[in-house]
Amino acid sequence: MPLHDWTDERGWDGVHLLWIGHLLRWIQPRLPPDYRASVGSMPALSVDTVNGKPDLTVRRWSPPGLTEADKAAAEAADPFQPDAEVVATFTLDRDKAIHIDLRGQLIAAIELISPRNKDRHFSQDGAKTRYVNYLRQEVHLLLVDLLPRPPAFSFADRIAAQLGFEQPPCPVPFAVSYRINGPVDPNTQLAFVRRPLRIGQPLPVMPLALNPFQAIPIDLEATYMAAAREGYLE
């Protein structure tokens, strides 16, 4: 099934969830012994200052009725008296990622980018930081972005800029696979495979590295086709 035009993002959430399931079923029988695939949630912690409503829920309070003299006396009695106490609610991203671990250690991940990963500047920064941290922690990463909006924004380009290596522009939609070849103190040596995606064309088979010498093929077309059919996309 050729790639749909996801300029209209309606229906993406359902296909995203179904696609994750089909990817998991594709990967599991192809993993070597001791490797395990699972679906996990990504921690999300961000503060939106654009509209004044934070995604991070913060509640502040202080004892009522305190005068300035009361506050000065409290500070004198306890120099570590806080100015305020805060309750922060940490949430999990609604999207899921596929994690591959070897004997309990995360070694590879697949993330399918959703609109909320890049609909605002703070979302873009938070997602980019997560992707870069995978690589810095020597976790191989397959990143897939089928969404053409915003047209001038590309996580592949942002990741390259963050890590300080040059590459030609890689506009959306795209699939990119990063393989960590090992640390070169104080840096990390990596290789990558980039594939541009085109609306109306089949998706490629992409490698997902398990170590510097071994990878498994991920059939994006077959798994996407199954998800799209179950999601009633024609």
pLDDT tens, residue by residue, 64-103? 666 777 766 766 666 665 665 555 544 555 678 999 999 9
Q: Report, as an integer, the average pLDDT of 141-165.
A: 94
Residue 4 falls within a domain, yes or no?
no
User: What is the per-residue pLDDT across 115-134, written as a single tens digit (0 to 9) for each?
Assistant: 999 999 988 999 999 999 99
Average pLDDT value over all residues in the chain: 83
User: Has residue 188 got a pLDDT over 80?
Assistant: no
Q: Are residues 84 and 168 in the same domain?
A: no
Length reported for the chain: 234
Domain residues for the domain of 82 are 46-89
Position 189 scores a pLDDT of 86
CA triple 213-215-218, angle to 5 deg: 165
- β-sheet bridge partners, residue 57: 89
What is the Cα–Cα distance from 184 to 188, expressed in whole angstroms?
Answer: 5
Q: Are residues 175 and 82 in the same domain?
A: no
Q: Are residues 33 and 99 in the same domain?
A: yes
Higher confidence at residue 2 or residue 130? 130
Give the global pTM.
Answer: 0.78
Q: Are residues 55 and 164 in the same domain?
A: no
Q: Are residues 124 and 58 in the same domain?
A: no
User: Has residue 218 got a pLDDT over 90?
Assistant: yes
What is the Cα–Cα distance from 54 to 89, expressed in whole angstroms?
Answer: 11
Residue 202 falls within a domain, yes or no?
yes
Q: Are residues 149 and 58 in the same domain?
A: no
User: What is the per-residue pLDDT across 17-49, written as a single tens digit (0 to 9) for each?
Assistant: 999 999 999 999 999 999 999 998 765 433 333
Q: Are residues 156 and 171 in the same domain?
A: yes
Q: Are residues 112 and 176 in the same domain?
A: yes
Q: Are residues 80 and 194 in the same domain?
A: no
Position 57 scores a pLDDT of 42
CA triple 41-123-146, angle to 5 deg: 75
How many domains is the chain built from? 2
Provide the percentage of residues in the chain whose pLDDT is more than 70.
76
Residue 220 falls within a domain, yes or no?
yes
Continuous segment of H or E residues that includes residue 72? helix 68-77
What is the Cα–Cα distance from 174 to 57, expressed in whole angstroms?
Answer: 34
User: Has residue 180 got a pLDDT over 80?
Assistant: yes
- Of 89, 106, 123, the position where a domain reaches its end is 89
Position 193 scores a pLDDT of 96
